[in-house]
Amino acid sequence: MTSSSPADARGRTPRRRGDSRRGDAVFFNLSRGAGVLLLVVMAAIAGFLTYRSALALGKNEGNFLTTFEWTPDAVKPVFGIAVLTFGTLVSALIAMLIAVPVAVGIALFISHYAPRRIAQPFAYLVDLLAAVPSIVYGLWGVLFLVPHMNGLTSWMDQYLGWTYIFDQSSSGVPARNLFTVGILLAIMVLPIITAVTREVFRQVPRMHEEAALALGATRWEMVRTAVLPFGRPGIISASMLGLGRALGETIAVATVLSTNSKLSLHLLDPGGGTFAENIALKFNEAQPLGRDALMASGLVLFVITLLVNGAARVIIARRKEYSGAAA
Amino acid sequence: MSTTVTVTDATPPQLSHRLTAARLPRWAPAGIAGGSIVLGCAVGAVADLKSHLQWGLISALLFLVASYAVSASVEGRRQAKDRFATSLVWVAFICAVVPLVSLTFYTVQQGIGAITPEFLSHSMKGVVATLSPDGGIYHAIIGTVEQVLLATLIAAPIGLLTAVYLVEYGRGRLAKAVTFFVDVMTGIPSVVAGLFILSLWNILLGFEYSGFSGSLALAILMMPVVVRSTEEMLKLVPNELREASYALGVPRWKTILRIVLPTAIGGITTGVMLAVARITGETAPVMMLVFGADFINSDPFNGPQQSLPLYIWQQYSQVNNEFGYSRAWGAALVLIAFVMGLNLIARGIARWRSPKGGR
């Protein structure tokens, strides 16, 4: 307000100045408000889920962490997340074991190996893979992938059965198991891991690569000594982003997995469950207490993905500062 | 032994010393790949392996081993390792192509038969889904379009403003917190978003199932994606443009509205469209909040609606349902065509209107 008087002296209308001030203030507050709203939403998600979970946990007659059953609407409500935790972690782990090496390979292919003419279209193609809705993945998984997995699973049962985890209790059942789910999740998280890794590989300083080649390194030696060390934080954070996706995937898992409440280390046996799948499938029949129980499991999932994603972002952010200093 | 022997021994290696070591011919990798595919299929056929996945895996293994072995015998260990890595990278490439191609082909092959004018223009009202092949997805298309549109109307402005805040104003602790939580928010599982809206909107505030409550959950999933992509685009707008505008006495908010946003509008549109494509395929929140219906309900604020992903799920999960699969594939084809079309258009816009990065 005080600075508006010199403007008067120069013959400008004070009203306009006031307008722009007000405009600036309104716009600033509007945009800051949007940012704050996002924070509020995050806080509200955590708050509401915690509140509803507390209601449910108070009435739980079993141990929430170690119980296998999920019968919150029974006369004696009992529910626990042991099976769900196991299924979620195992399927995500299988997905990571398959997806990370393949994604790094694809990223290398696009950034360093592919002929120019196919690299760009192929990068688009991989991005398109990310756009396929998960329900379509699920449908394809259960009607195409599962029948094709049957041969592989019975072979693994026959020759790798001694490992215990690949032993099938009854052979010949459709492969709607955690292993197939893991493979499907691997296909689904491949694009996101590839996209991030590819960007990091592209930022590798040209000079490092050319120096390695000039010293007589083969292409692989160049990749190993220049590209991979530079890209390692990127690979780690990309994998964690993918892991977050795999942990929270709902409908594809619900379609493919034939669920039950048994915790079995036989990965090729149908059965088990995951957090997200359990919520989606149990939701419609759930009574009020059942819904609150599902919210408790949702809260656990929320916290897990929050930690995984947060860790990934912290790693990426550190990388950014580093490469920014180098540029 | 005697000196004569050493002389005769010393000469031949000198003769064989060429400037370059022995190399495999240029067609060798392709040849090895072709050979191992043939061999892999032969092994698969002879051993009577039913799953073609196994044929492929055997071929890939043969290819890896053969390219290492052949190269090691001709070119030496270092080159062999290099060839092995190259083969591995190519195999990874094939691994990505196979599911994509298979998924696309299978969906088209299964779905194309179901898509008729009637399928696209009718709902499931009065159709006994398990007994007749009639019925269609008209109600689902209407529901999806309305829900996604509403979600976009909520999420796009908020996301845009947040991105403007982060890029144009954002300093200090609040901006840092927003950046971090936007990043974390992109990873929220869709079921969790659904549960949250359920506990807030439906349980606490007492609203019924409706398209709009689905839109709210979809908006939560969409906002962080819009923020991220818009942020990237705004950062690409050259600072000189802003400074020139300020120098002419244009206030900040007008600079943002008239200079910065129009410059980045191509990229922002792309980002929003990609986000729309992502939420269009979300099933879980819709399943919890929209509930699904067999009839046409074009009012997203009242009563249950249908949506394409939910329709696919319901058709698939009906028991004893020979017509359901065909309908599910038809709807899946429509959904996938819509999402991929949106993706391609979005990327086209990005290419066409991308601001030339001026640092």
- In 3D space, the residue among B229, B242, B222, B253 whose CA is nearest the CA of residue B354 turns out to be B229
**Which tokens hold the place of A321?**
């500062």
Tell me the average pLDDT across A193-209: 88
Q: Do A134 and B283 touch (CB under 8 A)?
A: yes
Confidence of residue A9 (pLDDT cuts 50, 70, 90): very low
Which of residues B156 and B267 earns the better pLDDT score? B156
Q: What pLDDT sits at residue B32?
A: 87
H or E segment and range at residue A315: helix A288-326
For residue B119, being part of any structural domain is answered with: no
DSSP class of A265: S
Q: What pLDDT sits at residue B6?
A: 46
- Asked: is A85-276+301-326 a CATH 1.10.3720.10 domain? The reply is yes
Confidence of residue A6 (pLDDT cuts 50, 70, 90): very low
CATH for B153: 1.10.3720.10
Residue A186 has pLDDT above 70, yes or no: yes
What backbone phi and psi angles, to 5 degrees, belong to B145?
A: -60, -45
User: For A111-120, A208-217, B206-215, B313-322, which range has the lowest pLDDT when averaged over its residues?
Assistant: B313-322
**Per-residue pLDDT tens digits for A147-184:** 888 888 888 888 888 888 888 887 778 888 899 999 99
Q: Which of residues 120-149 of B touch A (CB under 8 A)?
A: none
Query: Cβ of A230: how many Cβ atoms within 10 Å?
Result: 20
Contacts of B188 in chain A (CB under 8 A): 45, 248, 302, 305
For residue B331, being part of any structural domain is answered with: yes
**Which tokens hold the place of A269?**
């046996």
**Per-residue pLDDT tens digits for A306-327:** 998 888 888 877 765 544 333 3
CA distances from A102 to A175, A189, A197, A263, B113 (A): 23, 11, 11, 29, 35
Q: Mutate which of A26, A124, A129, A135 to disrupt the B interface (most B C-beta within 10 Å)?
A: A135
Specify whether the CB–CB gap between B309 and A133 falls below 8 A.
Answer: yes
Q: Do B277 and A131 touch (CB under 8 A)?
A: yes
Specify whether the CB–CB gap between B215 and B150 falls below 8 A.
Answer: yes
Question: How many helices and strands, by DSSP H and E, does chain A display?
Answer: 13, 2
Q: Do A301 and B157 touch (CB under 8 A)?
A: no
Q: How far apart are CA A248 and CA B189, in angstroms?
A: 5
Residue A138 has pLDDT above 90, yes or no: yes
Task: Give the count of domains, chain B.
Answer: 2
- In 3D space, the residue among B222, B163, B215 whose CA is nearest the CA of residue B188 turns out to be B222
Confidence of residue B334 (pLDDT cuts 50, 70, 90): very high
The range of the structural domain enclosing residue B212 comes to 138-353
Q: Which of residues 24-53 of B touch A (CB under 8 A)?
A: 49-53
Q: What pLDDT sits at residue B40?
A: 85
Residue A47 has pLDDT above 90, yes or no: yes
Q: What pLDDT sits at residue A323?
A: 45
What angle (nearest 5°) sits at the alpha carbon of residue A315, between those of residues A311 and A316?
115
Tell me the average pLDDT across B115-140: 85
Which of residues A4 and B113 earns the better pLDDT score? B113
Sign of CA dihedral B8, B12, B13, B14: positive
Confidence of residue B17 (pLDDT cuts 50, 70, 90): low
Q: How far apart are CA B47 and CA A8, in angstroms?
A: 94
Specify whether the CB–CB gap between A4 and A18 falls below 8 A.
Answer: yes
Say yes or no: B201 and B344 in one domain.
Answer: yes
**Percent of chain A at pLDDT exceeding 70:** 91
Residue B179 has pLDDT above 70, yes or no: yes
Q: Exposed, middle or buried, B234 (CB in 10 Å: 0-12/13-18/19+)?
A: buried
Strands (E), chain A: 70-71, 78-79
Confidence of residue B164 (pLDDT cuts 50, 70, 90): very high
Q: What pLDDT sits at residue B359?
A: 37
Q: Final residue of a domain: which of B94, B110, B126?
A: B110
Closest CA–CA distance from residue B281 to any residue of chain A (Å): 4
CA distances from B76 to B70, B167, B323, B352 (A): 9, 54, 60, 48
Nearest to B182 among A38, A306, A308 (CB): A38
**Per-residue pLDDT tens digits for B69-112:** 888 888 888 888 999 999 999 999 888 888 888 898 999 999 99
Q: What pLDDT sits at residue B18?
A: 62
Say yes or no: B347 and B302 in one domain.
Answer: yes
Q: Which amino acid is at B187?
A: G
Q: What pLDDT sits at residue B247?
A: 94
Say yes or no: B154 and B289 in one domain.
Answer: yes
CA distances from A196 to A231, A245, B206 (A): 10, 14, 42
Q: How far apart are CA B106 and CA B110, in angstroms?
A: 6
**Per-residue pLDDT tens digits for A58-111:** 888 888 888 888 888 888 888 889 999 999 999 999 999 999 999 999 999 999
Tell me the average pLDDT across B247-272: 89
Specify whether the CB–CB gap between B191 and A248 falls below 8 A.
Answer: yes
Say yes or no: B182 and B284 in one domain.
Answer: yes
Nearest to A310 among B184, B257, B282 (CB): B184
Q: Which residues of A73-96 are buried (b: 16+ CB within 10 A; e: fewer)?
A: beeebbbbbbbbbbbbebbbebbb
Alpha helix positions (H), chain B: 3-16, 28-46, 52-75, 77-111, 117-121, 138-164, 172-185, 190-197, 211-236, 239-247, 252-255, 261-280, 284-289, 308-317, 324-353
Tell me the average pLDDT across A122-126: 84
Tell me the average pLDDT across B172-188: 89
User: Which residues sit opposite B291 in a β-bridge?
Assistant: B305
B222 in reach of chain A (CB within 8 A): no
**What does pLDDT average to over chain B?**
85
Specify whether the CB–CB gap between A262 and A86 falls below 8 A.
Answer: no
Q: In this structure, are strands A70-71 and A78-79 parallel, antiparallel, or unpaired?
A: antiparallel
Residue B198 has pLDDT above 70, yes or no: yes
Phi-psi region of B135 (alpha: psi -120 to 50; beta: other; left: phi over 0): left
CA distances from B179 to A160, A196, A324 (A): 47, 18, 18
Q: How far apart are CA B281 and CA A246, in angstroms?
A: 16
Question: Which residues, including other chains, have CB under 8 Å from residue A141's CB and lie 6 or more apart?
Answer: A180, A184, A252, A255, A256
Say yes or no: B161 and B199 in one domain.
Answer: yes
Q: What pLDDT sits at residue B353?
A: 66
Q: Which residue of B has its CA nearest to A119?
A: B93
Q: What pLDDT sits at residue B160?
A: 94
Say yes or no: B32 and B71 in one domain.
Answer: yes
**Per-residue pLDDT tens digits for B21-74:** 777 888 888 888 888 888 888 888 888 777 778 888 888 889 998 888 888 888
Residue count (chain A) = 327
Say yes or no: B181 and B229 in one domain.
Answer: yes
Residue A211 has pLDDT above 90, yes or no: yes
Q: What pLDDT sits at residue A259?
A: 84
Report the predicted TM-score, pTM, of the whole model to 2 decimal places.
0.87
Q: How far apart are CA A289 and CA A277, in angstroms?
A: 18
For residue B65, being part of any structural domain is answered with: yes
Q: How far apart are CA A82 and CA B66, in angstroms?
A: 45
Tell me the average pLDDT across B246-270: 89
Specify whether the CB–CB gap between A198 and A111 falls below 8 A.
Answer: yes
User: What is the three-class DSSP state of A99?
Assistant: helix
Closest CA–CA distance from residue A207 to any residue of chain B (Å): 21
Question: Which residues, including other chains, have CB under 8 Å from residue B326's CB and lie 6 or more apart?
Answer: B110, B113, B114, B133
B166 in reach of chain A (CB within 8 A): yes
CA–chain centroid gap for A171, Å, is: 32
For residue B249, being part of any structural domain is answered with: yes
B199 in reach of chain A (CB within 8 A): yes
**Which tokens hold the place of A313?**
């972002």
Nearest to B165 among A32, A122, A309 (CB): A32
Say yes or no: B197 and B265 in one domain.
Answer: yes
Q: What pLDDT sits at residue A263?
A: 83
Q: What pLDDT sits at residue A16?
A: 55
Question: Which residues, including other chains, have CB under 8 Å from residue A175's CB and lie 6 or more apart?
Answer: A146, A149, A150, A152, A153, A268, A270
For residue B28, being part of any structural domain is answered with: yes
Specify whether the CB–CB gap between A237 and A315 falls below 8 A.
Answer: yes
Q: Which amino acid is at B248?
A: L
Tell me the average pLDDT across A253-270: 86
What backbone phi and psi angles, to 5 degrees, belong to B229?
A: -70, -40
Specify whether the CB–CB gap between A313 and A252 falls below 8 A.
Answer: no
Q: What pLDDT sits at residue B107?
A: 92
**What does pLDDT average to over chain A?**
85
User: Which residues sit opposite A79 in a β-bridge?
Assistant: A70
Q: Which residue of B has its CA nearest to A190?
A: B96
Confidence of residue B5 (pLDDT cuts 50, 70, 90): very low
A122 in reach of chain B (CB within 8 A): yes
Q: Do B50 and A150 touch (CB under 8 A)?
A: yes
Q: Which amino acid is at A79?
A: F
Block residue for tokens 């819904």: A291
**Per-residue pLDDT tens digits for A262-283:** 888 888 888 888 999 999 888 8
Confidence of residue B354 (pLDDT cuts 50, 70, 90): low
